[in-house]
Amino acid sequence: MILEKINKPNDIHDIALADFPTLAGEIRQFLVKSVSKTGGHLASNLGAVELTIALHNVLDFPQDKLIWDVGHQAYTHKILTGRKEEFATLRREGGLSGFPKRKESDCDAFDTGHSSNSISAALGYVRARDLLGQKHHVVAVIGDGALTGGMAYEALNNAAVLKTNFIIVLNDNNMSISKNVGGMSMYLSALRTAQAYTGMKLSVTKSLEKIPRIGIPLVDTVRRTKSSIKQLFIPGMLFEDMGLTYLGPADGHDMRQMMKLFNEAKRVDGPVVVHVITRKGRGYLPASTDPEKFHGVGPFDVATGKPLEKKKGPSCTEVFADTMVELGRENPRLVAITAAMPDGTGLDKFRKAFPERFFDVGIAEEHAVTFAAGLALGGLKPVVAVYSSFLQRSVDQILHDVCMQKLPVVFAIDRAGLVGADGETHQGCFDLSYLSMMPDMTVMAPKNGWELKEMLRFAAEYEGPCAIRYPKGCACEEFTEFQAPLVYGKSEVLEQGEEVAVLAVGSMMKTGELVCDGLKEKGICPTLVNVRFVKPLDEELLNDLPEKHNLIVTVEENVKSGGFGEHVAAYMQERHPGCRVLPIAIGDRFVEHGSVESLRARIGLSPESILRAIEEYGV
């Protein structure tokens, strides 16, 4: 096994070039076997095996800096930098992260998880290198999907004026998670189809150059011509015109070809884009035939590619997806927007039903939100479906473009709260804070699938900015006996008691109930409230509580700072200073990867730890 010889960074330099294809095959087998047990991002990693080997061959670690955009495709990089043995712990608590982590290895130059920032970070490294008189190479690897994100263009624009070496590898597999979208994607497709003619282009240019006297000026003229025939001679003109050298397109599974281009790129005094064409899921049939399904997977059977975990009940995503189709039928003005996640958000159902009312804008959350603002002003009812952590990208757009104009945009926020295995970049635990601070925003959190549907129906009619946040995984199927009609700004009292009132937000409802059970065992008869509206606060309820209660415990899967509990505490401090409030929320920290259940226990969100906190605080 060649792979056995890879145990630390740069071991690849001792492997004969002739053995590289065997090594690539062994890494693929290792990845499939390993991810089939732990789950993880498979298709992107299978597509980037040769690319990573080629890069490691021409770079030296940790001196050279390699920044992976999103970072979900960095498994081979982890293997080649001595972390092979830790793959059994991938994405488990205390184990190997699914993304690059500086604290895991000094060969990981930047922690990533959110898309389209690699060129910015790498450019920072380049400027620092130059100012400090250092000589290493800096490489950003960005996918064609990530290249739909605005930050990538801001960085390219900034990089274009650089006079020193900076390598940007464009890993183009024609896919985001789903099929890639938009004008850049179309442009890259044109470059890809030109690939077969690259040899011809070069030889045409060379032949023209040989024509005495007029040859070289002719080639120069063609280079400068502002017409598409230029494209025939020089691929990548868009980048070239911006001031970046374009090399490629290269076959991203041909390591010799790539290494030649990377070595060439290292000699350029300026920014270079090396365009490589890869195939997502390559080498494992189930993944190459359905790369979307194998983008991120749970444990699966290697022989069939079928998932090993049985599906439990319907997920919140499915409830959202079905409700959107119902609402779309009822209201022809309802439109849906996703930032490159039609499948993850469930909007693919809406797309099938109403293709002309569905918009995939690429990995462009900022644009998605302001685009929705325009749609609303144009007379439509937009629903932006997005994961909580990715919506962080759009805080100013929500505030400045939506809330300030009180526009009726609905934010359907999936993966809110802890998401588990993807770790700190993906935990959705800030949305209640950044949404609650915005004037005119309404924020809801459903206790179960029924309520999510009700909230969506409510939001579809509501005439201002409004957000519904719901968790990853199965929609809670409990509390079905509680179906009080949804009233704006009102919470739902599930159990009336005294002494302690537990106010639980959405995904923490079950935990709230278990806390109440624990209190009952101690002889306390608590009140249990389903908060429903995080904003506005249900002031009527809060004003009534002090009469029979001396402690309010709020429970939410969000950071404490700026969360529901802090707002309740501030309100009570002002209006009812005698009533004590214990906000249970995520502390001032980032929460790493692990199962949601064990993470909750570790950070004080399990029923047991909440009961302990109440005891310590004193009833």
Ligand X SMILES: Cc1ncc(C[n+]2csc(CCOP(=O)(O)OP(=O)(O)O)c2C)c(N)n1
Check whether the bond before 291 is cis (ω within 30° of 0): no
* Cα three-residue angle 94-97-99, rounded to 5 degrees: 160
Instruction: Report the alpha-carbon distance of residue 248 to residue 254 in Å, rounded.
Output: 12
Instruction: Report the alpha-carbon distance of residue 387 to residue 340 in Å, rounded.
Output: 11
Shortest distance, position 320 Cβ to ligand X, whole Å: 17
Instruction: Report the alpha-carbon distance of residue 411 to residue 350 in Å, rounded.
Output: 16
Structure tokens at 491: 């919470």
Residue 175 or 529 having the CB closest to ligand X: 175
Instruction: Report the alpha-carbon distance of residue 249 to residue 65 in Å, rounded.
Output: 23
Instruction: Report the alpha-carbon distance of residue 504 to residue 15 in Å, rounded.
Output: 58
* Cβ-Cβ contacts under 8 Å for 206 (sequence gap 6 or more): none
Structure tokens at 462: 């509501």
Residue 69 or 454 having the CB closest to ligand X: 69
Between the alpha carbon of residue 398 and those of residues 360, 370, 389, 407, the distances in Å are 18, 8, 14, 10
Instruction: Report the alpha-carbon distance of residue 308 to residue 98 in Å, rounded.
Output: 20
Structure tokens at 183: 């004008």
Check whether the bond before 62 is cis (ω within 30° of 0): yes
Q: For the purposes of burial, counting CB atoms within 10 Å of the CB of 243, is it exposed (0-12), middle (13-18) or buried (19 or more)?
A: middle
Shortest distance, position 41 Cβ to ligand X, whole Å: 7
Shortest distance, position 81 Cβ to ligand X, whole Å: 19
Cβ–Cβ under 8 Å, residues 585 and 607: no
DSSP 474: B
Structure tokens at 296: 């991120």
Instruction: Report the alpha-carbon distance of residue 471 to residue 189 in Å, rounded.
Output: 36
Between the alpha carbon of residue 114 and those of residues 160, 260, 359, 363, the distances in Å are 23, 30, 21, 10
Identify which of 554, 303, 592, 585 has the alpha carbon closest to the alpha carbon of residue 430: 585
Shortest distance, position 288 Cβ to ligand X, whole Å: 13
Beta bridge partners of 273: 168, 246
Residue 84 or 280 having the CB closest to ligand X: 280
Residue 315 or 511 having the CB closest to ligand X: 315
The catalytic site residues sit at 280, 365, 393
Residue 57 or 278 having the CB closest to ligand X: 278
Shortest distance, position 51 Cβ to ligand X, whole Å: 10
Residue 118 or 205 having the CB closest to ligand X: 118
Shortest distance, position 291 Cβ to ligand X, whole Å: 8
Length of the chain: 619
User: Sign of the C-alpha dihedral, residues 199, 201, 204, 206?
Assistant: negative
Instruction: Report the alpha-carbon distance of residue 279 to residue 531 in Å, rounded.
Output: 47
Identify which of 448, 446, 455 has the alpha carbon closest to the alpha carbon of residue 474: 448
Q: Which residues bind ligand X (CB under 6 A)?
A: 44, 47, 69-70, 72-73, 114-115, 143-146, 173, 175-177, 280, 339-341, 363, 365, 390, 393
Shortest distance, position 506 Cβ to ligand X, whole Å: 22
Cβ–Cβ under 8 Å, residues 511 and 606: yes
Shortest distance, position 371 Cβ to ligand X, whole Å: 15
Shortest distance, position 591 Cβ to ligand X, whole Å: 17
Label the pairing between strands 527-530 and 492-495: antiparallel
Shortest distance, position 141 Cβ to ligand X, whole Å: 9
φ/ψ of residue 565, rounded to 5 = -60, -45
Cβ–Cβ under 8 Å, residues 271 and 245: yes
Mapped onto helix, strand or coil, the DSSP state of residue 463 is: coil
